[in-house]
Homo-oligomer: A and B are copies of this chain.
Amino acid sequence: MVIILKPNPGAAQVESLRKFLEQKGLQTHLSEGSNQTVIGLVGDTSRVDMEMLKALDIIEDVKRIQEPYKDANRKFHPDDTVVTVGDAKIGGGNFAVIAGPCSVETEEQIITVAKAVKAAGAKLLRGGAFKPRTSPYAFQGLRAEGIRLLLEAKKETGLPIVTEIMDLSQLDLFDEVDVIQIGARNMQNFELLRQIGKQNKPVLLKRGLASTYQEWLMSAEYIMASGNRNVILCERGIRTFETQTRNTLDVSAVPVVKHLSHLPIIVDPSHAIGISRYVPPLSMAAVAAGADGLIIEVHNNPACALCDGAQSLTPENFAKLMQKVENLRSVLK
């Protein structure tokens, strides 16, 4: 951490600031230039409150040099984390595709789709029971009944299931769910992160619509600091000025976050782009960039999907895509 002082700070004030910092167990290094005086801090700065420092009278600015996350930081945990769910492994060279409908609608629908995606090579089944919708008038999901239907589909196909929790009050319903998804809008719901961190089920943590890599990793840190290390990150598009796509897929997140962290990272091209026609090329891009998996919306009758039909693939198109992804992965090794 580097502290930049305001021009011409008083010597006594500087000395008192250094003492204050050294009492916190940090070493200080002073550089005095003609225009600028700077104090460098050495030691564990992850618990130093930058905002508090910025409020001090003699300080102009504070810049962090070291990342504020520890459990999620590759510097302290160089080996890739591998998350295991049933027979599937994600991370550390292991790749898995999660597929299924946006919303669970009926038993027939979810079982049909589950069988189709399994046949095409998907390792996990996704499906929304609790649905975050912008409008209070839109379909909000089958809720408890949706989870029951997912468990039916799991029984039928053996696929582990991934589904989103929207509020802590729903946690009891997730007992038999294999992977708990935390959606983009809840990425900074810190109470939820903390509580989910106290159980040991794998967590799929989607990146917030306007969250930086660092904020995303800090949210993973919340879960990990509570004890749960089974975190899978999921890039799902960020909000930009472009209006022809639902969001902008930030494919750079894959190599950059893999450099910063040991956690596995997968990509959700369906929500990123919002238009099914573009899901295959973006899936290929994500895999080529090194993603540890994909999560893709598949619906047996996209035109009738109760939500997000626009971005779902048919089972046929999904099977074609899986073949292409397999070919691609064969040349990446």
Contacts and interface: CB of A to CB of B under 8 A. Distances in A.
State the copy count for this chain: 4
A191 B210 contact: no
A331 interface: yes
Contacts of A210: 209-210, 239, 241
B259 A242 contact: no
A134 B278 CA distance: 27
Contact of A284 (B47, B135, B289): B289
B185 A188 contact: yes
Contact of A168 (B168, B221, B278, B331): B168
Interface in A283-311: 284-290, 302-311
Contacts of A96: none
Chain A contact residues (Cβ within 8 angstroms of B): what range? Answer: 35 or more
Contacts of A242: 212-213, 238, 250
Given A188-B134, A241-B212, A287-B288, A278 B256 contact: yes
A190 B168 contact: no
Nearest to A226: B136
Contacts of A250: 240, 242, 248-249
A263 interface: no
A251 B247 CA distance: 12
A206 to B, nearest CB: 13
Interface in A41-93: 42-43, 46-47, 49, 51-52, 54-57, 61, 63, 65-66, 68, 75
Interface of A: 2, 4, 7, 27, 29, 31-36, 38, 40, 42-43, 46-47, 49, 51-52, 54-57, 61, 63, 65-66, 68, 75, 132-140, 166-169, 185-186, 188-192, 194, 209-210, 212-215, 218, 221-222, 225-226, 238-245, 248-252, 254-256, 259-260, 272-273, 275-278, 281-282, 284-290, 302-312, 324, 327-328, 330-332
The 10 closest A-B pairs by CB, nearest first: A55-B309, A210-B210, A33-B42, A288-B288, A54-B310, A284-B288, A167-B191, A285-B289, A285-B285, A255-B281
